Amino acid sequence: MKTDVGKVDGKENGTQTRKAIKRGIILRTNAIFMVPFILLWGLYVLTHGSSGPGGGFQAGVVLAAGVILYAVVFGLDRAKRDFPIKVMLLIASIGVSIYAWVGLFALFFGGNYLEYGALPIGHEPAESSELGIEMVEIGIGLTVMAIMLSIFYDFAHGRD
Amino acid sequence: MILAVDILLLAVAILLAVKAIQTKDLIESIILFSGYSFILAVIWFELNSVDVSFTEAAVGAGVSTILLVAVVSLTLRHEEEETKSPIRSYLAILACIVFFAILAVGVPDMPKIGDPNAPHHQHVVPRYIEKSYEETGVENIVTAILANYRGYDTLGEVTVIFTAGISVILLIRRVWE
């Protein structure tokens, strides 16, 4: 496959090199295989933060990294079509709200703020606490993923 | 904990850090820092702190690298040459030596890694290790501390990330929209 990397030089090579990357067949073929597995790995980390290493924050970053790889290889426009900016902002707000509302619900059911043991979702406080922690982790993951993507979209705008 | 591997890792980390500061090409510097972060992640793993290692690999070596590359695409790629007076660099070297000496005096007094009698293992750590599973129901003590015992701090962190995203939108997206 012919690319025009060799032709460009000087200060203006930024955009043209990126176009060449977009056309690179090795990168594209690799990304087709890698992106689904990165996203799956992110979801695994998100749901297994309570029993293994990782948690919401790491999961959010891994998910964002998967989408960023998609954006870098297939172009920003396509990534923005599949993962729109406005939806990302909504997801970020929802993530923070999940965390804050889980805390507030604990208050309604007679506990302290963020005392997951007081939530009426398990048979005993430890079980409620585990479920509460998992909900909170999902909130963290959503916010981190959405904000990382939003920042990436803003910085990479118009440089596709 | 193999000593030779530790020495090798630390040497590579220092080498990468020094090269990253020296180079005038910002993209090169960012990629060197990415490698530095990855080496640090391996060192954290060697110290048995898997969660920290995971965070370092994902954030330091992964996402922050690509965000910095995106930032450099908004500005110039090469740093400008500046003429520094030699006195300033000598002062910087002197400051580094003094600071290193102070640290070197303190290091022998530090407790050994994993020493159960170390002061920081006497305060709240026994409580977390003994009680965290029955109190919070999660196996990973780090998650139990972050999400339950220190839930307020984590809520604050998420809010900080959210605020950072909103700030970037206000500062940059307003320009191009």
Tens digit of each residue's pLDDT (9 = 90 or more) over B46-62: 888 889 999 999 988 88
Domain identity same for B25 and B72: yes
* Chain A residue with minimum CA distance to B153: A114
pLDDT band at B153 (very low <50, low <70, confident <90, very high): very high
Percent of all residues in chain A with a pLDDT value above 90, rounded to a whole number: 36
Indicate whether B86 belongs to any domain: no
Give the pLDDT of residue A21: 53
Give the pLDDT of residue A22: 54
* Interface membership of B137 toward A (CB under 8 Å): yes
pLDDT in tens, A25-37: 888 888 889 999 9
What rounded mean pLDDT belongs to chain A? 82
Give the pLDDT of residue A11: 44
User: Structural domain tally of chain B?
Assistant: 2
pLDDT band at A159 (very low <50, low <70, confident <90, very high): low
Total number of residues shown for chain B: 177
Domain identity same for B8 and B66: yes
Name the least confident of A53-67, A104-118, A140-154: A104-118
Indicate whether B102 belongs to any domain: no
CATH number at B17 reads 1.20.120.1200
* Interface membership of A94 toward B (CB under 8 Å): no
Indicate whether B91 belongs to any domain: no
Indicate whether B64 belongs to any domain: yes
Better-predicted residue by pLDDT, B174 or A97: A97
Q: Is the dihedral of CA A116, A120, A126, A132 positive or negative?
A: negative
pLDDT in tens, A52-89: 888 889 999 999 999 999 988 888 888 888 899 899 99
Whole-model pTM: value is 0.83
Indicate whether B96 belongs to any domain: no
What's the half-sphere exposure (Cβ side, CA atoms, 13 Å) at A107? 7
pLDDT at A104 over 60: yes
pLDDT at B150 over 80: yes
Alpha-carbon span B45 to B105, nearest angstrom: 27
B 102-121 residues inside an 8 A Cβ radius of A: none
Residue B21 distance to chain A (closest CA, Å): 22
**Dihedral of the CA atoms B139, B143, B144, B147 (nearest 10)?**
-150
Give the pLDDT of residue B19: 92
- Per the structure, the complete domain to which residue B42 belongs is given by 1-78
* Interface membership of A137 toward B (CB under 8 Å): yes
DSSP B122: T
Alpha-carbon span A133 to A120, nearest angstrom: 14
Distances, alpha carbon B85 to alpha carbons A116, B23, B49, B72, B154, in Å: 59, 19, 43, 28, 45
Mean pLDDT to the nearest integer, A112-130: 83
Give the pLDDT of residue A6: 39
Of B27, B57, B78, the residue that ends a domain is: B78
Mean pLDDT to the nearest integer, B141-165: 90
Indicate whether B37 belongs to any domain: yes
Better-predicted residue by pLDDT, B87 or A96: A96
Give the pLDDT of residue B119: 82
Of B33, B54, B78, the residue that ends a domain is: B78
Alpha-carbon span A3 to A91, nearest angstrom: 38
A158: tokens are: 């118009």
pLDDT in tens, B59-72: 888 889 988 988 88
pLDDT at B15 over 90: yes
pLDDT in tens, B73-96: 888 888 777 777 788 888 989 999
Give the pLDDT of residue A23: 61
Of B30, B61, B78, the residue that ends a domain is: B78
How many beta carbons lie within 10 A of that of residue A35, not counting itself? 18
Nearest 5°: CA angle at B27, between B21 and B30?
Answer: 55
Give the pLDDT of residue A62: 93
A61: tokens are: 């970053």
What rounded mean pLDDT belongs to chain B? 87
Give the pLDDT of residue A126: 83
Alpha-carbon span A37 to A53, nearest angstrom: 18
Interface with A, mutate which of B52, B143, B154, B157 (most A CBs under 10 A):
B143
Interface with A, mutate which of B161, B169, B173 (most A CBs under 10 A):
B161
Give the pLDDT of residue A116: 84
Give the pLDDT of residue A2: 38
